[in-house]
Chain A
Amino acid sequence: MKKLINDPEHVVTEALAGMAEAHPGLRVDLENKVIFRRSAPSPGKVGLVSGGGSGHEPLHGGFVGYGMLDAACPGEVFTSPVPDQIIEATKGVDGGAGVLHIVKNYTGDVLNFEMAAELCAEEGVEVASVLVNDDVAVKDSLYTAGRRGTGATVFVEKIAGALAETGASLAEVAKTGEEVNARSRSFGVALSPCTVPAAGRPTFELGPSEVELGIGIHGEPGRTRAPIAPARELARVAMDAVHTDMPLSGDCLVMVNGMGGTPLAELYIVFAEVAAYLREKGATPARSLVGNYVTSLEMRGFSVTVCRLTDDLTRLWDAPVETPALRWGR
């Protein structure tokens, strides 16, 4: 294992220390492992808290700031945060209008956020939650834990965050978050695995000419393995999976996301194919995001996430945002 770390056991806290130094707009509670907006709580504003395993940076800590999250709680690498962290974050951002938990659909994340929400409610903090489950690679049935939350998390955090800035109620912010999730689908492809620092070995082996189709964001193997193919064909596999599940039409918000180790040029090659695919189906890539937003450590590969926009959602997407990883309009 060759990594820029000091000690596998201290990866998360040492990275948090760096975030605190780099971004004066954030306040990082190193003991409880929570990243807050420096100004939190905002009186009268719904607080937004998200969290999940580390290793997906910039998700979630990189999205704390004006127009997006009020706090993020990172767990260990690929491990959900514990209830104590979530409670600390929730209380710290409660400005009296309630707190929205944005939770990716993984058994661990769901259980820990549920436990935290119950305890917060007992202490009088009103909590609602939005479950993100956009990954079409997982069959949503009684026979799985349900679809994973992946790229759409960025869309939910941005759009719900923009609405919260307008002074909307907890119920309204939660409803819009759910709407974004319901209108979004994702599919991921890996060219190489990743290595969890504490494990020291890659999570799976891929031959030099193989790819994994239908991966999540935790270095877990996907549903099938296939020979490497041109970007055009891999993009088509991903978009076919999305389009089959949610026929594409109208204005779309499209993210081509790198898994951490993918050159940006390759992501743009994929984006060109994705945009062509959308036009072929009569849809428009009206808004876009190309880069590393929801990563799996150093994995090479990409995921594509499409959200079918409405005028309201477009306006909220365009609204000002100022976080370490997303900033415009301010």
Chain B
Amino acid sequence: MMEAERIYTVELKNLTLGYGDRVLFAGADLGFGWGEFTALIGRNGTGKSTLLRTIAALAKPLGGDVVVDGRSLESMTAREIASRISFVSTDEVRITNLKVADVVAIGRAPYTNWIGSLTDVDREKVIESLALVGMSAFAHKPIDTLSDGERQRVMIARALAQDTPIILLDEPTAFLDLPNRYEICLLLRELAHKQKKTIIFSTHDLGIALELCDTLAVIENGRFHYGTAAQLIDNGDIQRLFVDTSVRFDPKTKTVRMK
């Protein structure tokens, strides 16, 4: 990937994150590319979630800026952010009687009137979003009757209905079985490439990330390592994640093994 060809949709400028006295990482500079599928990798407590929440404007940075479309998040209204960035959180949505199509339709909220009436454009977007995640047949089912994998697809459809160039997902595969983990990541990759979305998600599935993602951002000891899987392996950044543990990363097979 040539640096000069990349168009950044999300840029971190001298970004410092943390809570109170505890700094997770300081002075990070990084650009996430347009239409790229990026995994955020790091051990628990390294700040993956906090970074996603900061980009989604749910949390404030200790210092520095998040720049989207060349503008600082700080200078944007909630409505402007909502039309650029959608977020799939770890919150479980299992509400009795709430229909799948209605969940996806709530994603149109930034564009609908005071009471949330759907226009024809909104309805088309809902149908299209459900089709993109392969959930058209479930439109009228209550969301509490769906499996975990199906529900995650619906939440991704909701983000698609919000019609943003950037989609952030906080551990979207955490509660899923292995086939579903692959299915969801393949779906996200396809959406990034075909719908030209910038998709950034946090995950502990190193194998899937190395295999399917365009780029990885690894947070290790308060520092960012960013690049393609090959670049990160060549630099030894992936291997360094396993220092001080009883396992090691084997660059040849791209798997984790016992020492």
Is chain B found bound to chain A in the same assembly? no
Taking beta carbons and an 8 Å cutoff, which residues of B are in contact with A? none
Taking beta carbons and an 8 Å cutoff, which residues of A are in contact with B? none
